[in-house]
Structure 1
Amino acid sequence: MLLSSAQLPFLPLRTPIPPFHSSKRCRLAAVRENQVKHASSLELDRSLPGTGDSHAEKKAMGTGIEAGELSVRYDDGFGTKSVKDYFDMAKEIIKPDGGPPRWFCPVECGPPIKDAPLLFFLPGIDGTGMGLVLHQKSLGKVFEVWCLHIPVNDRTPFEGLVKFVEHSVNSEHATSTNKPIYLVGDSFGGCLALAVAARNPTVDIVLILVNPATSFAKSQLQPLLPVLEALPSNLHITVPYLLSFVMGDPLKMAMASVSKDLPPPETLDELSKNLTSLLPILSDLADIIPKNTLLWKLKLLKSAAAYANSRLHAVEAEVLLLASGKDNLLPSGEEADRLWNSLKNCRVRYFKDNGHTFLLEDGINLLSIIKGTCTYRRSRQHDYVTDYLPPTHSEYQKHIEQEYRWFLLATSPVMFSTLKDGRIVKGLAGVPDKGPVLLVGDHMLMGIELSPLYKAFLKEKNIIIRGMAHPILFLKKAETSRQEFYHFDILNIFGALPVTPINMYRLFSRGSFVLLYPGGAREALHRKGEEYKLFWPDQPEFVRMAARFGVTIVPFGVVGEDDVAELVLDYNEQKNIPYIREWIEENNKDILLRSDASGEVSEQQLYFPGMIPKLPGRFYYLFGRPFETRGMDILKDRSKANVMYLQIKSEIENMLSYLKRKREEDPYRSIIQRALHQASWGSSAEVPTFEP
């Protein structure tokens, strides 16, 4: 990473700072504490391919699109960098220059969306600021990313670093008082982030702490400090090499850049190559963290942990803590328990199989975690509509194509739709291509129909559906200090939001595709013998809301739950079991959803149905002929709204009957027949079905 031979420009700067020298490309904003707002970025080797505008230039030009203009499945660049890139860049940036700590803006980040919040990355004890190398491209789409670089020979005390970061935070806050400022603190950087937040409780700061070193007093390194001090310099090279195995999992780091689409033999070959190239360069840590620097950083860690711990009570910021279960350097799991109880507004995501070098390991996408926990926002409060970011290509591949691969193979879903002339065709040709569109259908048990539905719309029409979900899915009170990244986080990535009239109103006004289940939790958690029975409210409010914006309503039916699972313990049976009844009552006492509705739809008691799996059958979806509301006098005449409401409900019931009847004609309804077909034609071959 490298700066040109010219001195770094400052406005103004009395004492010039010597430049970096390297054959790599990057842009650095070298900034002293009193010049954060006036430092300019320096472009290096402009003639090299791939060079773009510097951070300062991009900000001045105002390039950036609206969040809503990000295309569905856009390329976020995640997975194109590896741990080797970290070492290559770190080796270049550590060359002594005598300069102070500074910010740099990675060129890979590119221009972010309009009104993107600022993200400061605070590194671990390496101090290079390169810890986000695997995430720079994806984060750079939606954040203005600044990374802190602490030169190898810099000896700024902890309070000096706190003041430096604090000055940057306050300077940015003064120019954008309504936007949050993100501090991503990795290990040592976590202590730094907590300290800054504690000293600035009135600034809207979002802390993302990655295995914070607040637990350094309990670290396995403590007994080694006297040994490290006495170790001869010629043996120091072994220390970072051994530390690299303590800090992270080499296998996970080597897998970070291996494509997940490769067959097993090729995956193993790529992993072997990456490991072969990775292991020798681990010794480069001896250059990144020389002996004197390591000893200084360990003392710095001790003072940082003490400083941060003494001020936890003063932290008012929103906190997302990411803790690793296999952190051999710090007891990060236990520390997550402590911080979760000590901090006022703390949420945790626990990754039981990852090590200390969390951000450099395979399977970790920091942007996905931020989106899944609804931590991304561009104003003082998270807005489920305007702050929503569509799923990226890498998220689609991981969470749909890979994680649900076996479920989709087992259920082999089939999609049908109805054209305007009434013909039923295979695929989604009968569903409009442009919104606003309201998809209204029946819920199968536990909503197991959702993943095939989302995949079909993403793959065939490149459309994201905004699913209206039960508000309890967005409550934080049920989370724990060992909360793993789970199914509901993935639903957030793919567009779920609480079902409220205002959310629906705003989505329609933006031309979105909205998914609504009028039967809600009552259908998804139905009782025995109620498969494919609709439980709808009496009032046609969604029809009137749709008519206000001229929304096209597309009814659909889906069958197949009785072919994959059998309900053996339903709500009526569970409420007769004392312990379970008390648990259900406790978890439902504060839920008032649809309390004003009449009939069974108002009885949305949440529980976990007892099920046993069956030899999988097949899922069948049918989208009916669209109902147009534009130009209809529904808003003024409630009776017309009620007529359309009943027509939509009747249409769905008819589609359910049609699918249950026609699936009997499908020669490939059984998984055995489908397996035989794919054994002959290949696993990716489309399995035939009945003729509509």
Structure 2
Amino acid sequence: MVAIGVSGYPAAVLSSFSQRRTTSYGGIQKCSRILAISTEKIESSVSTEQIKRARSFEDQNNGMFDKKKKKEETEEVKVKLNLYSNPDKIPDMEEGKKSLNDYLEECKEFIRSNQSGPPRWFSPLDCSVSSPESPLLLFLPGIDGTGLGLIRHYHNLAKMFNIWCLHIPVKDRTPFPELVKLVERTIRSENYRSPKRPIYLVGESLGACLALTVAARNPEIDLVLILYNPATSFSKSVLQPLIPMLEIMPDQFPLNLTHLLSLATGSLTQTIGELIPQDLVSISSYLPVLADMLPRETLLWKLGLLKSGSASANSCLHAVKAQMLLLFSGRDQLLPSQEESKRFRKALPDCEIRMFEENGHFLFLEDKVDLVTIIKGASFYRRGKHLNYVSDYIPPTPNEFKRIYESVKWIITATDPVMLSTMEDGKVVRGLAGIPSNGPVLFVGYHMLMGIETISLVTQLLIERNIVVRGLTHPSIFVRIKDRRPGDPEPSDFDLLRVMGAVPVSAGNFYKLMSSKSHVLLYPGGAREALHRKGEEYKLFWPEQSEFVRMAAKFGAKIVPFGVVGEDDIAEIIIDYNDQIKIPWLREEIERTTERISKPRSNASGEVANQPMHMPWMLPKFPGRFYYYFGKPIETQGMKVELEDRDKSHQLYLHVKSEVERCIAYLKQKREKDPFRNLLSRLLYQAIHGSISASQIPTFDLSD
């Protein structure tokens, strides 16, 4: 796993209107008078250095210059700067991240200053400092045409992309084919300048049709399409019948989109509430903006563009070869997006699809929808021709981690994990102080039933030690199953693992992680342990031959063996693999599922090779306490040559395995003396002592 040090924290230091003349740079035109919120990063290394100098001056004056003390104090500073240390207190809104009100204000400014002229690109002021090595992201707007649809996501997107947004002025009447040519010229020019980097096209409704048409016409260019609520279903939408209505309506009726849709719903309030959540913006502030954005003549023209764009995109859908992520809203009131998602699943089996059941048409203007998290979770961020799971990985932001932590907090609360680690002198302590800070570090341990122990392990290492653990994971969670059947897991079910750093297990990825000095989590027992059978709790199923020792020694990694026990493996297995293969239809399903997924150990043999993929039938047990014990780190520094000998390598492999078994045996014995092993006793303790964290509830005596 990569040990990520927090380099700083964002602070919004300026919020003002800045007057700018229209300029051109690299094909980008910056629109005048844009609301700019600039942010600064205060580097923790600078803050730490200042504190160190101040303490040094004080120590010298007092004659108490103590190197050991200074080292401990510096470590204290680093702990305090860990932004993940208290996920419950991380603010919901990131500093520097804009709100829906900002969107409305900037729309007013854009409409007032840029009503005429041709379509043009602009780069948001808060995104102008992106790294030149970052891929280019082109945002193609929907029916509004402002190009501000991603305004709430600039703050995080700017850390990953160079962002250009397409602005289509209110009075512009450029036909759809000319818009396609405009985007084409841009991607061809930028591809010529940076042929080794992908170009991202993010499109909403009309913009999605633009992106699909451009991708079909330029299959040789490396494009990544991220499309939400595409207007390919325009012929079935409530918008299509509005065209003839607008054409025959007398000029003295200055209706806009909201008024027309309210005729169908019978309620103006209901219509606006369905387009944009009412708790985010008042109706009175939204109506004038919409009226200016889509006056009657513009609305009629945009509806024609939607019709033309939909026909164009549908006609060339079969020719789209680009990597594609499609996002659909379950409560889209403008387009039948939910129905359209089913059509795309059949028409484009290779694309990734995510459904947002509770969201409306304007997906990225709503709360709790983060485009960056979606991209990370789908493994769609790359800087080169191919995705590099190590160098392209970006650790979760504090807000991302907070959302992830909240989704699994009930498991952590129910299992109340006790974390034990071993210091260099062999002393066992509560907490993770014995885990080496600097990588490469290889955690090797036992996989509990369904791998549930990884939740507390990964989150606690980030909270307590600011260490991002890169788990080597079964490749099946990264590969989309084309002939997906009812009951198969959704691809989005594994997004959390990918955001937290999961990597497909392979020799190549293991090598990259070790060479990047990461903290890596490896389960030699793999799926065989996680999907074990009746009576196999805490039994190791490791390959007969060593798989990781020589790679760890090549980079001088510290190997940390660990064990974990739970109650008692969390569930009672009712029907296991041995039972299921005796049932014909279940046996066929297991064989079919196993055949469809990747096989990480295709050349191996024995118990762990090509584990049949099945789901045990289980009954959950009453929640008990989880116990983790990390043994003393095993040094491999300087053993590269020695461990090239197969016998010595195998001896170390067996030693690591015996250490894992020892850790498990230790925990099974010690937990019998824990007075708070039962959930009820822990709840009673918390009730008596007030609101305390799980780590504050006592456990067995470590000195025994």
Shorter-normalised TM range: 0.7 to 0.9
| Alpha-carbon spacing, 1:194–1:251, altered in 2? closer, same or farther (3 Å) | closer
Report SS of the residue matched to 2:426: coil
Whether 1:419 and 2:423 are equivalent positions in the alignment is: yes
Whether 1:639 and 2:647 are equivalent positions in the alignment is: yes
Which deviates further from its counterpart, 564-573 or 334-343? 334-343
- What per-residue deviation string (whole Å, max 9, x for no partner) do you get for residues 596-644 of structure 1? 3343122511111111112211111010000000112433322221121
Q: Which of 310, 315, 325 is equivalent to 1:310?
A: 315
Shift of 1:231: 4.4
Partner residue in 2 for 1:365: 370
Shift of 1:246: 7.4
- What per-residue deviation string (whole Å, max 9, x for no partner) do you get for residues 237-275 of structure 1? 574265697777569746xxxxxxxxxxxxxxxx5xx45
Whether 1:623 and 2:630 are equivalent positions in the alignment is: yes
Whether 1:490 and 2:491 are equivalent positions in the alignment is: no
Aligned partners of 1:317 and 1:345 also within 8 Å:
no
- What per-residue deviation string (whole Å, max 9, x for no partner) do you get for residues 584-604 of structure 1? 011112554324334312251
Whether 1:195 and 2:184 are equivalent positions in the alignment is: no
Shift of 1:474: 1.5
Shift of 1:210: 0.5
- Listed as ranges, the gaps of 5+ residues in structure 1 are 1-21, 53-70, 255-270
Shift of 1:341: 2.9
| Alpha-carbon spacing, 1:72–1:675, altered in 2? closer, same or farther (3 Å) | closer
Shift of 1:278: 5.6
Shift of 1:669: 1.3
CA distance, structure 2, for counterparts of residue 575 and residue 586 of structure 1: 12
Report SS of the residue matched to 1:486: helix
Partner residue in 1 for 2:74: none
Report SS of the residue matched to 2:643: coil
Aligned partners of 2:567 and 2:621 also within 8 Å:
no
Shift of 1:423: 1.0
Aligned partners of 1:415 and 1:621 also within 8 Å:
yes
Query: What fraction of aligned residue pairs are identical, expressed as a percent?
Result: 52
Shift of 1:676: 1.9
Partner residue in 1 for 2:299: 294
Q: Superposed, which structure 2 residues align to 1:669-688 within 5 Å?
A: 669-685=677-693, 686-688=696-698
CA distance, structure 2, for counterparts of residue 485 and residue 27 of structure 1: 44
Which deviates further from its counterpart, 125-134 or 225-234? 225-234
Aligned partners of 2:28 and 2:164 also within 8 Å:
no
Shift of 1:360: 1.2
Q: Which of 240, 243, 259 is equivalent to 1:222?
A: 240
Report SS of the residue matched to 1:645: helix
Whether 1:407 and 2:407 are equivalent positions in the alignment is: no
| Alpha-carbon spacing, 1:135–1:307, altered in 2? closer, same or farther (3 Å) | same
Q: Which of 577, 594, 598 is equivalent to 2:601?
A: 594
Partner residue in 2 for 1:473: 477
Report SS of the residue matched to 2:399: helix
Report SS of the residue matched to 1:601: coil
CA distance, structure 1, for counterparts of residue 83 and residue 520 of structure 2: 15
Aligned partners of 1:29 and 1:103 also within 8 Å:
no
Partner residue in 2 for 1:184: 202
Residue identity matched to 1:523: E
CA distance, structure 2, for counterparts of residue 198 and residue 657 of structure 1: 60
Which deviates further from its counterpart, 116-125 or 638-647? 638-647
CA distance, structure 1, for counterparts of residue 519 and residue 439 of structure 2: 6
| Alpha-carbon spacing, 1:197–1:478, altered in 2? closer, same or farther (3 Å) | closer
- What per-residue deviation string (whole Å, max 9, x for no partner) do you get for residues 552-608 of structure 1? 000111110416321111111111111111000111125543243343122511111
Aligned partners of 2:97 and 2:153 also within 8 Å:
no
Aligned partners of 2:381 and 2:387 also within 8 Å:
yes
CA distance, structure 1, for counterparts of residue 453 and residue 319 of structure 2: 46
Whether 1:98 and 2:116 are equivalent positions in the alignment is: yes
The count of corresponding residues between Structure 1 and Structure 2 is: 629
Whether 1:50 and 2:44 are equivalent positions in the alignment is: no
Q: Higher relative contact order at CA 8 Å, sep ≥6: structure 1 or structure 2?
A: 2
Partner residue in 2 for 1:651: 659
Aligned partners of 1:554 and 1:625 also within 8 Å:
yes
| Alpha-carbon spacing, 1:481–1:464, altered in 2? closer, same or farther (3 Å) | same
Aligned partners of 1:468 and 1:496 also within 8 Å:
yes
Aligned partners of 1:30 and 1:104 also within 8 Å:
no
Aligned partners of 1:78 and 1:134 also within 8 Å:
no
Residue identity matched to 2:637: R
Partner residue in 1 for 2:613: 606
Q: Superposed, which structure 2 residues align to 1:187-586 within 5 Å?
A: 187-231=205-249, 236=254, 239-240=257-258, 253=277, 274=280, 277=282, 280-343=285-348, 345-400=350-405, 402-478=406-482, 486-562=492-568, 564-586=570-592
CA RMSD of aligned residues (A): 2.9
Partner residue in 2 for 1:137: 155
| Alpha-carbon spacing, 1:288–1:675, altered in 2? closer, same or farther (3 Å) | same
| Alpha-carbon spacing, 1:430–1:94, altered in 2? closer, same or farther (3 Å) | same
| Alpha-carbon spacing, 1:282–1:455, altered in 2? closer, same or farther (3 Å) | farther
CA distance, structure 1, for counterparts of residue 543 and residue 21 of structure 2: 59
Report SS of the residue matched to 2:524: coil
Partner residue in 2 for 1:259: none
Report SS of the residue matched to 1:24: strand
- Listed as ranges, the gaps of 5+ residues in structure 2 are 1-14, 41-81, 85-89, 263-267
Aligned partners of 1:554 and 1:626 also within 8 Å:
yes
CA distance, structure 2, for counterparts of residue 486 and residue 159 of structure 1: 35
| Alpha-carbon spacing, 1:282–1:675, altered in 2? closer, same or farther (3 Å) | farther
CA distance, structure 1, for counterparts of residue 149 and residue 246 of structure 2: 25
Aligned partners of 1:569 and 1:609 also within 8 Å:
yes
Shift of 1:389: 1.2
CA distance, structure 1, for counterparts of residue 380 and residue 618 of structure 2: 34
Aligned partners of 1:543 and 1:644 also within 8 Å:
yes
| Alpha-carbon spacing, 1:578–1:39, altered in 2? closer, same or farther (3 Å) | closer
CA distance, structure 1, for counterparts of residue 237 and residue 315 of structure 2: 18
Which deviates further from its counterpart, 110-119 or 619-628? 110-119
Aligned partners of 2:39 and 2:96 also within 8 Å:
no
Report SS of the residue matched to 2:667: helix
Shift of 1:342: 2.8
- What per-residue deviation string (whole Å, max 9, x for no partner) do you get for residues 369-396 of structure 1? 1111111111111111221111111110
Shift of 1:200: 1.1
Shift of 1:283: 4.4
Aligned partners of 1:246 and 1:328 also within 8 Å:
no
| Alpha-carbon spacing, 1:86–1:396, altered in 2? closer, same or farther (3 Å) | same
Aligned partners of 2:445 and 2:561 also within 8 Å:
yes
Residue identity matched to 1:663: R
Shift of 1:506: 1.1
Residue identity matched to 2:103: Y
CA distance, structure 1, for counterparts of residue 656 and residue 181 of structure 2: 62
CA distance, structure 2, for counterparts of residue 480 and residue 79 of structure 1: 41
Shift of 1:77: 4.2
Q: TM-score scaled by structure 2?
A: 0.84
Shift of 1:329: 1.2
| Alpha-carbon spacing, 1:204–1:596, altered in 2? closer, same or farther (3 Å) | closer
Partner residue in 2 for 1:257: none
Report SS of the residue matched to 2:644: coil
CA distance, structure 2, for counterparts of residue 84 and residue 480 of structure 1: 41
Report SS of the residue matched to 1:130: coil
Q: TM-score scaled by structure 1?
A: 0.85
Shift of 1:551: 0.5
Report SS of the residue matched to 1:94: helix
Report SS of the residue matched to 1:421: coil
CA distance, structure 2, for counterparts of residue 495 and residue 49 of structure 1: 31
Report SS of the residue matched to 1:407: helix
Shift of 1:670: 1.3
